Chain A
Amino acid sequence: MTETDFRDSIDDYVTSIHAILGFANFYLWDPETRTDVPDVLVFQGRHLCPLSAATENEVRNDGSYVTPDLGVLLPDHTGVLAEVKLSFPKDQAHWMDDFKQLMSYDADLDGWPSEDGRVIRHEVVLITEQGRAVRVRKFYENHAGNEIKFERPFVIVAVNRSDNRQPYYFFQRTLGNLTRTVLDSRLEEGVKVPMTVLLEKYSTVKLYDAEPPLPYMMDLIWTHVVVDAARQEPKFSRLHKRHKLPVVLQVESIVERLREEFSCRSISAHASCGTPSVPKKTWIVNALEQFVSMKEAEWIDAKKEGIRVFFQRIEDSLDHFIASSCRSPDDEKGPPDQQPLLQFPDDPDGI
């Protein structure tokens, strides 16, 4: 991947997080009373297990589970499961995979952060980029009733960042109806969410249930875990530019730190119980492997549970990790079959 590819993918990733937070905020914030709505819980990367069709009460014992990007449990014991899919592959043949994933949420599920782990009913929401929303809706309509079937309400919400001087995210419902009628009416007309109102959340939630681009993950580890460990060393403040300060870290502790501090768990309304999976340990290991390949770290045990990172003062850490990732062997695989977000190509084959 080139530097531009990485920059675009990081922008896509961050935009997806902003879209998730913006959508969650419709349930967490009451614009009429201008207060937080009490007793709403949001969750991310939580394992929800389908219930057995035979008994409707037992969790299917095949070990399968689904992990939507965002879940919302409302005080009336109903719920919302949302998936953010801002970019779609050029080849529409692959779109069915995404809809199959959405259909997997259209089931009685166990594992909600309610007392009994269930809800009375829930709806499924696809959040997609506005420039693709019409085609995605048409794709759905062309296959609805045949390959695509939803028993529960299925809603498509389009989102777009408006790059004005005071940027905002624009959300608009383009298919289906949300059960919450007031919110549904608002979204039918479209709602602007100025970035300025959610900066606190944008600054604390930096991960969602999808593996981030490698340099972004590395930068997160560097800035918020490696630096924090290095600053405990007496030599930290006196370190010269080219000197290195070895810092030993455990992979599990990195996972836990980022989970606690930069996933959706850092939102106060987040359901703290459940099976957290953001970030996944494999994402962290992948990023650490890149540190090792750059000779900026070394594993300290054969099982790769611990690592020694050679901290040094990097002037622009993200730029540094992007540049090093461009040179990595993974680069040869080429960019994924996806278009960068917020690009409206003239190419008619594109979306």
Chain B
Amino acid sequence: MKQFDFVKSFYKASHNRDTFVADVDALVGSDPRNMRVTSVPFSANFQPATTFPSITAKARKVRLVTAYDGAQLYELRYSYKLGAAEQTKCGRFLVYEHPVYRNVFVAVTFEGGRFVQKGMMPFLRGQFPRLVVGFVPHKRLKRLLAAFRADHDFSELIVTRATQRLRLPEEGVHRRVMPIMTWPDMALDEAIDWLADHNGWFKSVRFDAKRDGYTATRVSLTRDGIISCDYLYNQVFQSFVMPVCKIHHENYNLFSNRARRDNPTLAARPLTITFDEGQFDDISENQKLIRALRVMKTTSISVLHGNPYVHVSAVDYLDGSTFDLWVVDSRELVLVPQMYASVGAIKRLVNHIFDTYAEGEVKEYCLGAL
């Protein structure tokens, strides 16, 4: 018997900004457990509707299929290598325009993991630095999960699969982070606390949200903000997608116009990363930080001073952004964007520090007292 194609029907139907999330929720609810929806919040300094179709890349090409009110449907044709053979595939994704944050969007797809990993994510990441995909710090993730559980009355969240990274403190290790994969069937709060105690973070986590003994939805989250679920999309959207959109919005505003050239007087507009109290009390932390910075890919890290204060010059070879980094305080790292510094490059640098050294809070630099 020919099955009804709910997704095709969804694409053909009319959607708008106000009903979009409810429409997706209804679609996923039409075939729970068998349909997964993946959402990827991102920020961009352009409108995808006008820019995506004009992007020409050998391995990936996008076509605008339908423009709804506040959302669009795209078809992505992509190629990738599987062994020696080159595969060409096609899939569809939607872009939802955030109703409030002008530079924030959500890519939504019902396609499988291969499309997300080989097609959509490389396409989105390929637009760096004009487009930036997400980043969820560990502490923030912990708060989001606690709120998700409390807001929707889940009795427990059980980890079914997770990949973690532990920041390595010792010298002489090629990789600054150690990957681990586990399927611990552990309560999520315990797993998060264990990771925090071991100076680590989730790269991705898949968990079952349980209510009265049954699994209400299976959710997976990644550190770079890819969120997927097989049911209760509306709850997942409100608890994870919207907060990640907010992170994008905050970061976009905080990281925009930081370059000295964005300022007519050429004055610097530094940012600070504030760590836990006494983070740099031990002088050996300087070298740990420098080692962590040095493993950043596609970046030049030059140390002008390493002890007792840190002064590092960084060049991002992906887009030519340049920075000065300073540690002259026991808990703060000051990041000074130089003549050119894109939002994407600032975010990449901050993410790298969070991934390989420690997580902190990024804020506007405040002049100290003289």
Contacts and interface: CB of A to CB of B under 8 A. Distances in A.
B339 A203 contact: no
A313 B317 contact: yes
B319 interface: yes
A268 interface: yes
Nearest first, the 6 A-B pairs at minimum CB distance are A231-B320, A318-B302, A203-B336, A195-B328, A196-B368, A203-B324
Given A165-B283, A199-B328, 14 more contacts: A167-B308, A196-B332, A196-B368, A199-B270, A202-B311, A203-B268, A203-B270, A204-B268, A219-B313, A223-B313, A227-B320, A260-B266, A261-B339, A316-B300
B100 interface: no
B270 A319 contact: no
B265 interface: yes
Interface in A24-45: 25, 29, 31, 34
A194 B370 contact: yes
Contacts of A195: 309, 326, 328
B270 A196 contact: no
A197 B368 CA distance: 5
B301 A204 contact: no
Interface string A296-314: 0000000000000000011
B56 interface: no
A315 B298 CA distance: 8
A202 B268 CA distance: 10
B322 A261 contact: no
Consensus secondary structure, chain B interface: loop
A11 interface: yes
B338 interface: yes
Given A203-B338, A204-B267, A167 B319 contact: no
Interface string B317-354: 11110101010111010101011100000000000000
Interface in A292-351: 313-319
A314 B308 contact: no
A224 B322 contact: yes
8 contacts: A10-B304, A166-B330, A203-B326, A204-B266, A224-B339, A228-B339, A266-B266, A313-B300
B173 interface: no
Interface string B288-324: 0000001000101111110011010101011110101
B1 interface: no
Contacts of B265: 268
Nearest to A232: B320
B367 interface: yes
A297 B60 CA distance: 36
A164 B313 CA distance: 22
The CB with the most chain A CB atoms within 10 A, among B270, B280, B313, B332, is that of: B313
B142 interface: no
A92 B302 CA distance: 36
Interface in A128-146: none
B260 interface: yes
B270 A317 contact: no
A194 B320 contact: no
A271 interface: no
A239 B339 CA distance: 22
Contacts of A199: 270, 326, 328, 334, 336, 365
B328 A29 contact: no
Interface in A190-240: 193-197, 199-200, 202-204, 219, 223-224, 227-228, 230-231, 236-237, 239
